[in-house]
Amino acid sequence: MTAHEFLRPRFTGDRFQEHWLPLEMLRDLAVLEEMIVEVAKWKYLQENPRRKRSPRRFTEGISLKLTGIEDGSAVPIIALVVSAATLFPLDNQEYFEKARDAVIAAISAAEHNEPIAGHLPDEALAYFDRFGRSLRKGEAIEFSVANNSVPARLTRDTRRKLVLASTALKEVTEETLVRGCVPEADQHNMTFEIQFPDGRKLGAPIDPQHLEVVLEAFNGYRDGLRILVQGIGRFNRHERLLGFLSIEHLTILEALDVSARLDDLRTLQQGWCDRAGKAPSSAGLDWLGESFNSRYPEELPLPHLYPTPEGGIQAEWSLPSADISIDIDIEQQVGHWHVLNLSSDAEETRKLLLAQDDQWTWMVEQIRQHSQG
């Protein structure tokens, strides 16, 4: 058996900073192997036009193996392994090398808005619907490019371009996360509906392990009970969610869940308050939701959230020893803090620069103290 280094992709992003590779990314590497094998067959046929198909044992004894993970974000080392007993000539490994280079060239073309079709056949581009699907915003897989110090980067955006370059695909599947209510559940067909704050509904399958959660959400529909849905979503070319291919996780949300409440506020239109209210910006709501999710401890009480006519958000806590409110300017990322001490009637105000971690740390500690009375 012989083996030599074949690929050294570099995963970049917050999840990979500790040189860890999440298990879900192994699915992407498995799809990459499938794609390279098919592109290798395509390369063989290109150079052997008299043949209608690749040799029957073209890939026998040939495989890609993960041999280790290096530092530098997370860098899996992938080797091309050839069994000593294989009938596949060692010289023909060049087709796998050419397939790898073609895949990387297509990624580079997508990144630089260059023509993609010449690098890969239509059927190979369809593999990108599964390869890179686990990437999140701000993450990338970098591939070294021959004679070029700048790597080719597969991101959510470049992956989408590669998928839509295939004439065979009209939709893109992506890992997605949404929140909503369950107005309908069909136990016979094992399907349910998710209703979003704007009233739109989408169907989704029920796996047996999720049935209990779906029924709990269905029974709590009139009380506004919501669920968090994580799965593989189907999107059209305009990035509109059409439905779910599969559901991975379902979670019942707390009544005051911050992200769910912010979803409600996204539906506000200009003039919502006596024709003068300003609708909060989507980017500002994204920032506030991400800040709460990453900086606010789960064990602390959640606030009630209300829109302000100026386009901001008011957060309010009714705690044992105090009433607390923060008027948040989500554009400037500034909060105006107000506390009314219920035992002394003393008031305290403070300006918080909420782009700074230490300001969140101070705020969290104050809420922790007042929540304990």
Summarize pLDDT for 235-248 with one digit per residue, the tens: 998 889 999 999 99
pLDDT of residue 73: 76
Q: Is the pLDDT of residue 61 over 80?
A: no
Read off the pTM.
0.81
The answer to which of 5-14, 91-100, 218-227 has the lowest mean pLDDT is 91-100
Confidence of residue 225 (pLDDT cuts 50, 70, 90): very high
Q: What are the pLDDT digits (tens) for 3-42?
A: 788 999 999 998 888 778 888 899 999 999 999 999 998 9
Once rounded to an integer, what is the mean pLDDT over residues 61-65? 80
| Buried b / exposed e along 293-330 (16+ C-beta atoms within 10 A) | eeebeeeeebbebebbeebbbbbebebeebebbbbbbb
Other Cβ atoms closer than 10 A to 51: 10
pLDDT of residue 70: 82
Other Cβ atoms closer than 10 A to 121: 18
Starting at the earlier edge strand, list the strands of the sheet with 227-235: 201-205, 191-195, 172-186, 227-235, 241-252
Q: Is the pLDDT of residue 354 over 60?
A: yes
Q: Is the pLDDT of residue 91 over 90?
A: no
Top pLDDT among 275 and 208 is at: 208
Q: Is the pLDDT of residue 88 over 60?
A: no
Percent of the chain topping pLDDT 70: 95
pLDDT of residue 109: 94
Percent of the chain topping pLDDT 90: 69
Query: Side-chain half-sphere of 288: how many Cα atoms within 13 Å?
Result: 34
pLDDT of residue 48: 82
- Nearest CA to 328 out of 253, 373, 261, 271 is that of 261
Dihedral (C-alpha) 261, 262, 263, 264: value to the nearest 10 degrees? 60
Distances (CA, A) of 145 to 100, 151, 195: 10, 6, 45
Residue 197 burial by CB count (10 A; 0-12/13-18/19+): exposed, middle or buried?
A: middle
CA 29-32-34 angle, 5° bins: 115
Q: Is the pLDDT of residue 275 over 90?
A: no
Starting at the earlier edge strand, list the strands of the sheet with 148-154: 10-12, 140-145, 148-154
Confidence of residue 142 (pLDDT cuts 50, 70, 90): very high
Average pLDDT, the chain: 90
- Which amino acid is present at 35? M
Question: Of the spans 10-24, 78-92, 95-109, which averages the highest pLDDT?
Answer: 95-109
Once rounded to an integer, what is the mean pLDDT over residues 193-206? 94
Q: What are the pLDDT digits (tens) for 320-343?
A: 999 999 999 999 999 999 999 988
SS3 371: helix
Once rounded to an integer, what is the mean pLDDT over residues 145-174? 89
pLDDT of residue 86: 54
Q: Is the pLDDT of residue 223 over 80?
A: yes
CA 74-250-128 angle, 5° bins: 45
pLDDT of residue 89: 52
